[in-house]
Amino acid sequence: QQKVQQSPESLIVPEGGMASLNCTSSDRNVDYFWWYRQHSGKSPKMLMSIFSNGEKEEGRFTVHLNKASLHTSLHIRDSQPSDSALYLCAARANYNVLYFGSGTKLTVEP
Amino acid sequence: EAAVTQSPRSKVAVTGGKVTLSCHQTNNHDYMYWYRQDTGHGLRLIHYSYVADSTEKGDIPDGYKASRPSQENFSLILELASLSQTAVYFCASSDRLGGLNQDTQYFGPGTRLLVL
């Protein structure tokens, strides 16, 4: 069973709209979460990380974390076509070993 | 930004042949990883290493070996390549020196492997 589950598998939003992506872990040993973004044909790059309960905002991107439910979400406001990518959630359950979800493919339509 | 390079960038191999993928990092990171990614999907951990001359198994180690001859270099070896090993392979590195970037992984550009 995958340690990290992401939903939805794919998401289409209009340009300027809000995109909301979800990630949950089934492993009670998970403590930290990351969100990576991977454009088509490129390597994943870290977008945001969150270690504490609550919310973290960086520009148009906001991440929420609920450690009790091991749920994190990524929200992208004012979505742009350049935001179209595969978004990967990663969780740490053992030192320096990250477990990645299958990703959410986001398409922002002009 | 952290620098991780991989070679080759793409390779065509024959079933049953030996394939070696190489990774080099100049970040002075202790940890290095090999992942595979199947089209449109997430990353699965094959092997990782936290010190030279030592490797650890990840989630899907079967059919793969790893070698870490130095802090900077980490290789993935497919002794008998199979069709099911067609995928994109990513190498990554990270450190544990603390700070906000602790455990953040930096990825190489990937190697596209096609086994025929």
Please judge whether A96 and B42 are an interchain contact, meaning their C-beta atoms are less than 8 angstroms apart. no
Q: Please tell me the predicted confidence (pLDDT) of residue A83.
A: 98
Of A8-22, B62-76, B100-114, the least confident:
B100-114
Neighbours of B68 (CB within 10 A): 21
Q: What band does A28 get if pLDDT is binned at 50, 70 and 90?
A: confident
Q: What is the mean pLDDT of residues A17-37?
A: 93
Contacts of A86 in chain B (CB under 8 A): 40
Q: Does B90 or A98 have the greater pLDDT score?
A: B90
Pairwise CB contact (< 8 Å): B107 & A95 = no
pLDDT band, residue B98 (cuts 50/70/90): low
Residues of chain A contacting B43 with CB distance shorter than 8 Å: 44, 88, 100
pLDDT of residue B41: 79
* Residue A2 confidence (pLDDT): 72
Whether B1 has its CB under 8 Å from any CB of chain A: the answer is: no
The residues on A that touch B, with CB distances below 8 Å, are 4, 6, 32, 34, 42-46, 49, 86, 88, 90, 92, 95-103, 105
Angle CA A34–A23–A31, to nearest 5:
50
* Main-chain phi, psi angles of A82, to 5 degrees: -70, -10
pLDDT digit string, tens, across residues B26-42: 988 989 999 999 987 78
Is pLDDT at B95 greater than 90 in this prediction?
no
DSSP A82: G
> In this model, does residue A64 exceed pLDDT 70?
yes
Q: Does B46 touch chain A (CB under 8 A)?
A: no
| Tokens coding A59 | 């520009």
In chain A, residues with a C-beta closer than 8 Å to the C-beta of B59 are: 99
